[in-house]
């Protein structure tokens, strides 16, 4: 505790995640030993397969992109005191909307029209699905965690039915391809070293959105209201801010972020919507947002780490089961939760000591 006052604000913010990562690393070593493999070899294989070559690095960034978006999808409502567990459903419906709009446009549609239309449809679908639990909470008090979970199942069933019964190309589980104008170019076009990697322009979009989220949260009136509601709904009410409306709005913006994941997969990678493509990115987004302390910059860093783990899982699969990575991700969050209260207390004590001096 005597250590914390000497660290700056940023240092304190990084201490918890640092301790949590260290703990997860130790657990990871133990699990690797349980599998009968050498931790050093596994770790170097993980690094070599990710940051060790341009292709691996491209794939890390490609896998981090949806995590930035789903991380923001959880982080923005979290700042307003709401836990958005429904990112998975928002991802699926958003991507489906992107795919459907992308394939329905006239074939000669120019990119400046096709791209915003397809991406905008994804944003709107995700936002609508995300706003629903927020609105239900404001209206009836139903806890957003349970309702957004239920809505996940409903969204998955809905998308599955729409694709299987109406949209799919015969004998497949994907929709017809989007028009050429709605495709996002791969970065390998300008950086030949990335050849083979699916890294595309949506990564830049995700980074731009993270900056926008920072501006929204910390530099606008709305963001101030949002954070006020998160700190104390009662205080917000006295200040004339409606917690219900702000909560619904925060969930809608978050849902919209998740809805844009389709840009990476549909517009940047496959060119169509595919059933079951999401593979849990919505849930990993929860871990990303918590590790990133619900701060956009933290979210980007955490997404980078989890993207590395996700790509690294493939690289180490020959040595240990790649499911190890899922365990590590959850352990990071649990360890982080354990450190947060003590750190909060330490920070409080430091502030009191300073004001007393």
Q: Which is nearer to another protein, 4 or 340 (CB)?
A: 340
Helix (H, G, I), strand (E, B) or coil at 274: strand
Cβ–Cβ < 8 Å for 75, 213: yes
The window from 43-51, 101-109, 257-265, 339-347 that contacts another protein (CB under 8 A) reads: 339-347
Q: Give min distance, CB of 159 to another protein, in A.
A: 9
Cβ partners under 8 Å of residue 40, min gap 6: none
Q: Which is nearer to another protein, 65 or 148 (CB)?
A: 148
Per-residue contact flags (x/-) with another protein for residues 122 to 141, judged by CB under 8 A: --------------x--xxx
- Put residue 242 in one of left, alpha, beta given phi > 0 → left and psi -120 to 50 → alpha: beta
The window from 30-38, 99-107, 196-204, 298-306 that contacts another protein (CB under 8 A) reads: 30-38
The window from 10-18, 37-45, 179-187, 327-335 that contacts another protein (CB under 8 A) reads: 327-335
* 323 counts as binding another protein under rule CB under 8 A: yes
Q: Which is nearer to another protein, 139 or 195 (CB)?
A: 139
φ and ψ of 295, to 5 deg: -110, 135
Helix (H, G, I), strand (E, B) or coil at 186: strand
Site size with another protein, rule: CB under 8 A:
46
* 333 counts as binding another protein under rule CB under 8 A: yes
Q: Give min distance, CB of 296 to another protein, in A.
A: 19
Candidate list 146, 204, 235, 239; residue touching another protein; CB under 8 A: 146
* 42 counts as binding another protein under rule CB under 8 A: no
Q: Which is nearer to another protein, 268 or 313 (CB)?
A: 313
Cα–Cα distance for residue pair 353/357, rounded to 1 Å: 6
- Put residue 46 in one of left, alpha, beta given phi > 0 → left and psi -120 to 50 → alpha: alpha
* 281 counts as binding another protein under rule CB under 8 A: no
Candidate list 107, 108, 165, 356; residue touching another protein; CB under 8 A: 165
Q: Please, what's the b/e burial string for 293-326 (b: 16 or more CB within 10 A of its CB; e: otherwise)?
A: bbbbebbbbbbbbbbbbbbbbbbbeebbebebbb
Cα–Cα distance for residue pair 174/136, rounded to 1 Å: 32
Q: Which is nearer to another protein, 148 or 202 (CB)?
A: 148
Cα–Cα distance for residue pair 322/315, rounded to 1 Å: 8
Candidate list 14, 37, 330, 347; residue touching another protein; CB under 8 A: 330
| Angle at which helices 281-291 and 54-79 cross, to 10° | 70
Candidate list 3, 26, 30, 35; residue touching another protein; CB under 8 A: 35
Cβ–Cβ < 8 Å for 126, 94: yes
The window from 104-112, 142-150, 235-243, 347-355 that contacts another protein (CB under 8 A) reads: 142-150
| Angle at which helices 39-50 and 54-79 cross, to 10° | 90
Q: Where does residue 1 rank: exposed (0-12), middle (13-18), buried (19+ CB within 10 A)?
A: exposed
The window from 28-36, 105-113, 121-129, 167-175 that contacts another protein (CB under 8 A) reads: 28-36
Q: Give min distance, CB of 252 to another protein, in A.
A: 18
Q: Which is nearer to another protein, 64 or 136 (CB)?
A: 136
The window from 114-122, 152-160, 206-214, 221-229 that contacts another protein (CB under 8 A) reads: 152-160
The interface with another protein within residues 55-94 (CB under 8 A) comprises: 83, 85
Q: What sections of the chain are H helices per DSSP?
A: 9-34, 39-50, 54-79, 87-104, 111-140, 144-162, 202-219, 221-231, 233-238, 243-259, 261-262, 281-291, 296-316, 324-356
**Which positions touch another protein (CB under 8 A)?**
31, 34-35, 83, 85, 136, 139-143, 145-147, 149-151, 153-154, 157-158, 160-161, 164-165, 283, 286-287, 290, 321, 323-327, 329-331, 333-334, 337-342
């Amino acid at each position: 505790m005597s250590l914390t006052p000497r660290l700056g604000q940023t240092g304190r913010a990084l201490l918890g995640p640092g301790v949590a990562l260290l703990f997860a690393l130790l657990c990871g070593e133990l699990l690797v030993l349980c599998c009968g493999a050498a931790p050093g070899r596994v770790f170097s294989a993980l690094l070599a397969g990710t940051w060790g070559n341009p292709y691996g690095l491209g794939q890390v960034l490609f896998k981090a992109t949806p995590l930035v978006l789903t991380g923001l999808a959880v982080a923005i409502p979290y700042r307003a005191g709401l836990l958005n567990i429904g990112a998975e459903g928002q991802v699926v419906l958003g991507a489906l909307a992107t795919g459907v709009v992308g394939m329905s446009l006239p074939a000669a549609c120019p990119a400046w029209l096709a791209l915003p239309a397809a991406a905008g449809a994804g944003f709107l679908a995700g936002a609508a699905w995300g706003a629903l639990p927020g609105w239900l909470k404001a209206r009836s008090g139903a806890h957003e965690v349970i309702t957004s979970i239920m809505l996940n199942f409903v969204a998955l069933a809905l998308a599955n039915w729409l694709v299987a019964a109406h949209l799919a190309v015969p004998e497949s589980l994907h929709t017809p391809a989007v028009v050429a104008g709605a495709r996002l170019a791969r970065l390998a076009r300008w950086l030949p070293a990335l050849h083979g990697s699916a890294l595309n322009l949506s990564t830049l979009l995700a980074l731009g959105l993270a900056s926008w989220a920072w501006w929204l949260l910390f530099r606008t009136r709305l963001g101030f209201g949002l954070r006020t509601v998160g700190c104390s709904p009662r205080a917000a009410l006295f200040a004339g801010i409606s917690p219900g409306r702000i909560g619904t709005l925060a969930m809608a913006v978050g849902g919209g972020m998740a809805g844009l994941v389709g840009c990476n997969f549909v517009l940047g990678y496959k060119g169509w919507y595919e059933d079951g493509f999401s593979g849990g990115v919505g849930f990993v987004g929860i871990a990303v947002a918590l590790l990133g302390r619900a701060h956009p910059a933290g979210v980007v860093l955490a997404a980078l780490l989890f993207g590395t783990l996700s790509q690294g899982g493939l690289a180490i699969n020959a040595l240990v089961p790649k499911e190890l990575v899922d365990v590590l991700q959850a352990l990071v969050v649990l360890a982080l939760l354990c450190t947060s209260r003590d750190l909060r207390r330490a920070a409080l004590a430091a502030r009191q000591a300073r004001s007393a001096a």
